[in-house]
Structure 1
Amino acid sequence: MKITIKPLKGHPGYKFRASFSQGGKYLQKYFKTKQEAKNFADAKAVELENVGIAERGVSPSEFRALLSAREIEKQLRASHVTEEFSFERAVEFYAAHLRSTKSSVTVKHAAEQFLFSQERKKRSKRHLQNLGYRLAAFELVYGKRIISTITKDDVENYLAGIKGTGRTQINHRAVLSNLFNFAVGKSWMAVNTTASVEITPDKNTPPGILTNAELAAFLVAAEPRIVPVYAIAFFAGLREAELARLDWKDIKLKRGIIDLSAKATKSAQRRIVTISPNLKAWLKPYVQASGPLRPSDQIFRNSRKTACLVAGIKDWPHNAARHTFASCHLAAYENAAKTALELGHKGTDVLFDHYREIVARKDAIAYFKIMPPKTPTNIIRMEVAA
């Protein structure tokens, strides 16, 4: 609304006049000083603007929001952030956000439903325990939040607070990604906010492995009920979850292979693993026609602790058996593709990034010649499986 200020000539009491239109009428106001006229013009301009906005059904707060949006748009364009911002799009985006929030659920509820869905799919006990542990940790931080409001920054801050290596954070992120994919499928959130979260693995930190002397001492000190499991773990490189599912009928000693079914492997694909001559020697006294190789978790852990104590092993590296096997197999055979195949990897990247420690070739060759004592004790001989 335009207000015109003009000086007056010959008026006995006033020197300036403000002219404006209001309500269809032409009005004038007189002032003694120019500053008084200007102050009035500024105030009247705001008043007239608000009246004009109100007449169009727009409240003052809505008008201020529009002006603010225009300023934001100007700044974004000037800094070359985007050319697509507009007041209309901002309103639509926020409306969609509100609708998503209202139709969403808490992180706690989503986690419970996701875990239940995995139970219905009859996932392994170990897999469910892993999910439950990692989901419970996330719930402690964000359990009461609506899952659709969890941002990339929230996920990054959470992962940054987890103690451990980059691999530990990657494992947590994988569980969260599965949870969020489940939530997207339920229309509880629009996108999986973990998809763009990047974590740098600790490539410069070598994996922990046992020396030949430590492994030999451990296997000799171990109780008979865990010797076959650890012999396979160290000399065939099976994952812990695969060992938990392994049955004696999968051990084809005469053929020199371990036949892992699709249900037993991480990739859900059948895998044939080579039984080395020294592994065959470790297994032969214990072999059975069928039945699980691995005892219960508690017995397995306690037996390992006892064997480590007897063998003088103070620290048991994380994933020690698989790391040791991969490192020694690569050094002994000098064939990354062959080692990756035995491990069940599709390529060699994971092998070099996470499983390889530098081992001298002579030590690696000696590793696959570690043999059991000539007269093992407490062994019950069974018929050898085909």
Structure 2
Amino acid sequence: MNTPVKLSVAKFKNPSGKLSWRVSGTVNGVRVRKNFKTRPLAEGYKQEEELDSIKNETFRAAITTLTDRQLSDAQAAYARLGATHSILKAVDYYLKHYRAPVSYNLVSDVLDEFYDWKRSTGVRERSIKQLRSSLSRFADVTKDLLIHEIKLQHLQDYIDRQSWKPKTQNNFRADIHSFFEWCKAKPREWIKDNPASDLPKFKIERGIPHILDFKQSKDLMHYVAWKDAEMVPYFALALFAGIRPQYPTGELGKIAQMGAEAWDLIDFRNKVIRIPPNISKTGEYRTINIQPNLAEWLKPFAKEKASIAVTNFERRLKRIRAEKKLGHDVLRHTFISMHVAKFKSVGNTALQSGNSEAIVRRHYLKMVAENESKRFWAIKQPTQEEVGALKEEEARKEAAAKV
């Protein structure tokens, strides 16, 4: 059975920027293009045109309990299925899988609402920023699909096109799974099943963390003290207190931006640094013991309540990290390894670093010999002789570079 109606429904953006639903195609050979405010209105118009089109076809007498409207619907269904599909199989599949959507939203329509919900549960702005980066591109790619129309294959195809490493795939899987769980939950209930639930999750083998040995740690701190003394508090807190060093979003980055108030967290009398929940990555309060050498590094700056985030801080930080070839988290890794080696308590090191005992035991225990750790915790400000040696070493390097 052929039908003179060929129509489709798609979301359309008007020149004014307003979104609508457009029905386009042909009716009896005449091109049709009409816009509607909602998809149900557009689908209704499309169905009416399809029903009207079959009224002109030849009818034969048949005994049936169906109403005229039901007969028209059946004829329209046969016309759309074609000769290769059974209407009974189509009905069975529909009854098994269909769930009427309660919303006709695109992913992009509800992302801001999702981010607000995340904030209400205590998720921090840094994580919201990461979520936004992860989901906004996916929203652009799926702009022609309503939320309930997105299936597992759409997600897998999107991931396959990105050439991501397994860890990045896992991160996206977590983000998109969280989004669809939110769509599924009450009071929204926009979907019945989470299409991200069956996305594969990769097992990531974590390598041995890179750390600085005693000599490298000493060279770093002496270099900073000589070359850019205002940066000493940042590097001392990262290396000898293990505070997560990322700037500006990490724990130490947030502390650095507190200005003079940062020193209120450092209690020399009780020999502890207090990391409050609003700064701690885990959202939990913790304290870090101030070791004698750390106190010596910090006290000259504490007296003046000098700002940790000094002028041009990021540029100066980047220069020192490049000069000393410092990796992303090497200072914190060094602290944890040296701490557990010196004090021989996995639990204590885990508490002070804000890690789990399992992580400390698996990745940091026995990374450093006890004698090495003792020397590390004795690193102090450079003497005049040591500064002189640094100057001579730099002069030799400059001379060699000119040859």
- For residue 132 of structure 1, give the secondary structure of its aligned residue in structure 2: helix
Which shifted more, 253-262 or 174-183?
Answer: 174-183
The answer for the alignment partner of 1:338 in structure 2 is: 348
Code of the residue aligned with 1:220 in structure 2: it is H
Closer, same or farther in 2 for the Cα pair 1:219/1:127, shift >3 Å? Answer: farther
Give the C-alpha shift of residue 365 in structure 1: 3.2
Unaligned runs of 5+ in 2: 1-60, 256-261, 388-403
Within 5 A, what are the aligned runs for 1:178-189?
178-185=178-185, 186-189=188-191
Which shifted more, 316-325 or 286-295?
Answer: 286-295
Closer, same or farther in 2 for the Cα pair 1:287/1:204, shift >3 Å? Answer: same
The answer for the alignment partner of 1:236 in structure 2 is: 241
* Preserved contact between residue 218 and residue 376 of structure 2 (Cα < 8 Å): no
Asked if 1:65 corresponds to 2:77, the answer is: no
Provide the rounded CA distance (Å) in 1 between the counterparts of 2:167 and 2:94.
41
1:319 to 323, 329, 354: 329
Give the C-alpha shift of residue 341 in structure 1: 1.2
Code of the residue aligned with 1:305 in structure 2: it is K
Provide the rounded CA distance (Å) in 2 between the counterparts of 1:366 and 1:157.
54
Asked if 1:369 corresponds to 2:378, the answer is: yes
Closer, same or farther in 2 for the Cα pair 1:132/1:352, shift >3 Å? Answer: farther
* Preserved contact between residue 104 and residue 187 of structure 1 (Cα < 8 Å): no
- For residue 269 of structure 1, give the secondary structure of its aligned residue in structure 2: coil
Provide the rounded CA distance (Å) in 1 between the counterparts of 2:288 and 2:189.
42
TM normalised by structure 2 equals 0.60
Residues paired across the two proteins, number = 301
Unaligned runs of 5+ in 1: 1-50, 70-86, 378-386
Asked if 1:131 corresponds to 2:131, the answer is: yes
Backbone CA RMSD of aligned residues: 4.1
The answer for the alignment partner of 2:316 in structure 1 is: 303
The answer for the alignment partner of 2:398 in structure 1 is: none
Code of the residue aligned with 1:254 in structure 2: it is R
CA offsets per residue over residues 28-65 of structure 1, 9 Å max, x none? Answer: xxxxxxxxxxxxxxxxxxxxxxx999887666948953
Provide the rounded CA distance (Å) in 2 between the counterparts of 1:149 and 1:291.
57
- For residue 302 of structure 2, give the secondary structure of its aligned residue in structure 1: coil
Which shifted more, 249-258 or 113-122?
Answer: 113-122
Closer, same or farther in 2 for the Cα pair 1:255/1:108, shift >3 Å? Answer: same
Give the percent of matched residue pairs that are identical in Structure 1 and Structure 2. 23
Provide the rounded CA distance (Å) in 2 between the counterparts of 1:323 and 1:110.
40
Give the C-alpha shift of residue 227 in structure 1: 2.0
TM normalised by structure 1 equals 0.62
* Preserved contact between residue 219 and residue 227 of structure 1 (Cα < 8 Å): yes
Give the C-alpha shift of residue 124 in structure 1: 5.4
Which shifted more, 60-69 or 130-139?
Answer: 60-69
Within 5 A, what are the aligned runs for 1:49-64?
61=78, 64=85
Within 5 A, what are the aligned runs for 1:41-120?
61=78, 64-65=85-86, 68=89, 88=92, 90-96=93-99, 99-100=100-101, 103-116=103-116
The answer for the alignment partner of 1:213 in structure 2 is: 215
Provide the rounded CA distance (Å) in 2 between the counterparts of 1:339 and 1:367.
16
Give the C-alpha shift of residue 293 in structure 1: 3.5
Closer, same or farther in 2 for the Cα pair 1:119/1:202, shift >3 Å? Answer: closer
Give the C-alpha shift of residue 164 in structure 1: 7.3
Provide the rounded CA distance (Å) in 2 between the counterparts of 1:194 and 1:357.
40
Closer, same or farther in 2 for the Cα pair 1:365/1:295, shift >3 Å? Answer: same
Within 5 A, what are the aligned runs for 1:195-206?
197=199, 199-206=201-208
Within 5 A, what are the aligned runs for 1:370-385?
370-374=379-383
Give the C-alpha shift of residue 305 in structure 1: 2.5
- For residue 287 of structure 2, give the secondary structure of its aligned residue in structure 1: strand
Code of the residue aligned with 2:332 in structure 1: it is R
Closer, same or farther in 2 for the Cα pair 1:115/1:68, shift >3 Å? Answer: closer
Asked if 1:273 corresponds to 2:284, the answer is: no
Provide the rounded CA distance (Å) in 1 between the counterparts of 2:157 and 2:242.
34
Code of the residue aligned with 2:319 in structure 1: it is T
Provide the rounded CA distance (Å) in 2 between the counterparts of 1:371 and 1:114.
50
* Preserved contact between residue 272 and residue 288 of structure 2 (Cα < 8 Å): yes
Provide the rounded CA distance (Å) in 1 between the counterparts of 2:201 and 2:195.
14
Code of the residue aligned with 2:335 in structure 1: it is F
* Preserved contact between residue 207 and residue 356 of structure 1 (Cα < 8 Å): no
The answer for the alignment partner of 2:265 in structure 1 is: 250
Provide the rounded CA distance (Å) in 2 between the counterparts of 1:295 and 1:191.
51
* Preserved contact between residue 251 and residue 258 of structure 1 (Cα < 8 Å): yes
* Preserved contact between residue 162 and residue 169 of structure 1 (Cα < 8 Å): no
Give the C-alpha shift of residue 120 in structure 1: 7.7
Give the C-alpha shift of residue 244 in structure 1: 2.5
Provide the rounded CA distance (Å) in 2 between the counterparts of 1:290 and 1:226.
14
